[in-house]
Structure 1
Amino acid sequence: MNWSEQAIRDAARAGDYGRVVKRARTAANLSQGQLGEACGMSQSAISRLEGRGAGSYDTAQLSLVAAQLQIPPHLVGMADHTAAIVARGDGNGTDVERRNFLGGVAAVAAAPAFSMAPTQQAHAARTGQAATLRVATTAFRRLDGTTPSRQLVDTVLSHLKLTQSIAQNAESEAERTRLSAVGSEVASLAGWLHWDMGDNGSARTWYGASIKAARRAANPLLAAYQLGSLAQFEAHSGNAAQGLGLIQSARNQLGPNMPAIADAWLSAVEALAHAAAGAEGSADQALRAAARRAQQIEQEDAPPWPWVFSFTETKVAATRVSCGARLGLPRWIAREQDSTSAVMNTGHEKQRALLQLDMASGHVAAGRLDGAFTMAARALEVGLRYKSGRIVERARAVRRSYSGPTPPKVVRDFDDRLHGVFL
Structure 2
Amino acid sequence: MNWTAAAVREASNSGNYGQVVKLARIDARLSQAQLGDACGLSQSAVSRLEGRGVATYDMSLLARAATHLKIPMRMVGLADQSAVAAAQVGTDVERRSFVKGAAAVAVAPVLSPALAAQPAQAGDAQTAPLRLATTAFRRLDGSTPSRQLQEAVLAHLRLAQTIAGEAEDRAVKLRLAAVGSEAASLAGWLAWDMGDYGSARTWYGNAVKAARSSDDRLLTAYQMGSLAQFEANTGNVVQSLNLLHQARRQLPGDRPLAIADAWLLSAEALAHAVAGDARSSDRALTQAARAAELVAHEDPAPWPWLFTFNGAKVAAARISCGARLGLPQWVQAAQDEAGEALSSGHAKQRALLQLDLAQARLASGRVDGAFALATRALETGVRYRSGRIVERARAVRRSHTSSTPPKVVRDFDERLHGVYL
TM-score range, shorter chain: 0.7 to 0.9
Give the equivalent residue in structure 2 for 1:249: 246
The residue identity in structure 2 corresponding to 1:240 is V
Aligned counterparts of 1:102 and 1:388: Cα–Cα separation in 2: 25
Aligned partners of 1:378 and 1:187: how far apart in 2?
A: 31
Q: How far apart in 2 are the matches of 1:136 and 1:393?
A: 30
Aligned CA distance change for structure 1 residues 127 and 300 (closer, same or farther; 3 Å): closer
Alpha carbons of 1:376 and 1:303: their partners in 2 closer, same or farther (altered >3 Å)? same
The match for 1:360 among 353, 358, 361 is: 358
4+ residue runs over 6 A deviation:
none
What is the deviation of 1:307?
2.8
Deviation at residue 99 of structure 1 after TM alignment: 4.2
Asked whether the equivalents of residues 350 and 382 of structure 1 are also in contact (C-alpha less than 8 Å), the reply is: yes
Conserved 8 A contact 2:58-2:148: no
The answer for the alignment partner of 1:318 in structure 2 is: 316
Partner of residue 417, structure 2: 419
Aligned partner (choices 201, 205, 213) of residue 204 of structure 1: 201
Contact 1:149 1:386 in 2 (8 A): yes
1:160 correspondence with 2:157: yes
The separation in 1 between residues aligned to 2:86 and 2:180, in whole angstroms, is: 13
Which residue number corresponds to residue 169 of structure 1?
A: 166
Q: 8 Å contact 2:135–2:306 — kept in the other structure?
A: no
TM-score, L = length of structure 1: 0.73
Contact between 1:109 and 1:133, CA under 8 Å: does it hold in 2?
no
Answer yes or no: is 1:147 the counterpart of 2:124. Answer: no
Instruction: Provide the residue aligned with 1:290 in structure 2.
Output: 288
Instruction: Give the equivalent residue in structure 1 for 2:297.
Output: 299
TM-score, normalization by structure 2: 0.73
Deviation of the 1:96 alpha carbon: 4.9
Corresponding letter in the other structure for 2:179: V
> What's 1:138 paired with?
135
Give the 5 Å matches for 1:22-101. 96=57, 98-99=59-60
**Cα distance, 1:179 vs. partner?**
0.8
Q: Distance in 1 between matches of 2:151 and 2:92?
A: 25
Does residue 328 (structure 1) correspond to residue 305 (structure 2)? The answer is no
SS at match of 2:90: helix
Cα distance in structure 2, aligned partners of 1:321 and 1:174: 42
How far apart are residue 414 of structure 1 and its match? 0.5
Shift of 1:274: 0.3
Matches within 5 A, 1:259-274: 259-274=257-272
Contact 2:60–2:152 at 8 Å: present in 1 too?
no
Closer/same/farther in 2, CA of residues 254 and 101 from structure 1, 3 Å limit? farther
Residue pair 2:358, 2:370 contacting (<8 A) in 1 also: yes
1:341 counterpart (339, 342, 361):
339
The one-letter code matched in structure 2 to 1:173 is R
Q: Alpha-carbon deviations, 1:151-198, whole Å to 9, x = none?
A: 000110011111111111112112111110110010000000001101
Distance 2:166 2:252 in 1: 34
Partner residue in 1 for 2:88: 111
User: Which among 367, 370, 390 is matched to residue 368 of structure 2?
Assistant: 370
User: Structure 1 regions of 5+ residues with no counterpart?
Assistant: 1-93, 117-123
What SS does the aligned partner of 1:205 have? helix
Q: In the superposition, relative to structure 1, how do residues 405 and 313 fare at CA in structure 2: closer, same or farther (>3 Å)? A: same
Contact 1:247–1:270 under 8 Å retained in 2: yes
| CA distance in structure 2 between the aligned counterparts of 1:160 and 1:305, rounded to whole angstroms | 17
CA gap 1:102/1:193 in 2 versus in 1, 3 angstroms: farther
Relative to structure 1, the CA distance from residue 230 to residue 109 in structure 2 (aligned partners, 3 Å threshold; closer, same or farther) is farther
Asked if the contact 1:109–1:136 (Cα under 8 Å) also holds between the matched residues in 2, the reply is no
State the alpha-carbon separation in 2 of the partners of residues 204 and 97 from structure 1: 26
| Separation of aligned partners in 2, 1:402 and 1:354 | 18
Cα separation, 1, equivalents of 2:157 and 2:134:
9
d(CA) in 2 for partners of 1:227, 1:131 = 23
Q: 2:56 and 2:218 mapped to 1: Cα distance?
A: 36
The number of equivalent residue pairs is: 323
What's the CA shift for 1:260? 0.8
Which residue of the partner structure matches residue 391 of structure 1?
Answer: 389
Identify the residue that residue 86 of structure 1 maps to in structure 2: none
Task: Specify the code of the residue in structure 2 equivalent to 1:209.
Answer: N
AA aligned opposite 1:246: L
Give the letter aligned to residue 416 of structure 2: L
Q: Is contact 2:187-2:200 (8 Å) kept?
A: yes
Determine the C-alpha separation between the residues in 2 that align with 1:101 and 1:291: 45
Matched, 1:220 2:217: yes
Q: Cα 1:244–1:110, aligned 2, differ >3 Å: closer, same or farther?
A: same
From 184, 187, 190, give the equivalent of 1:187: 184
Structure 2 gaps of 5+ residues are 1-54, 68-80, 94-120
Distance 1:286 1:187, change over 3 A: same
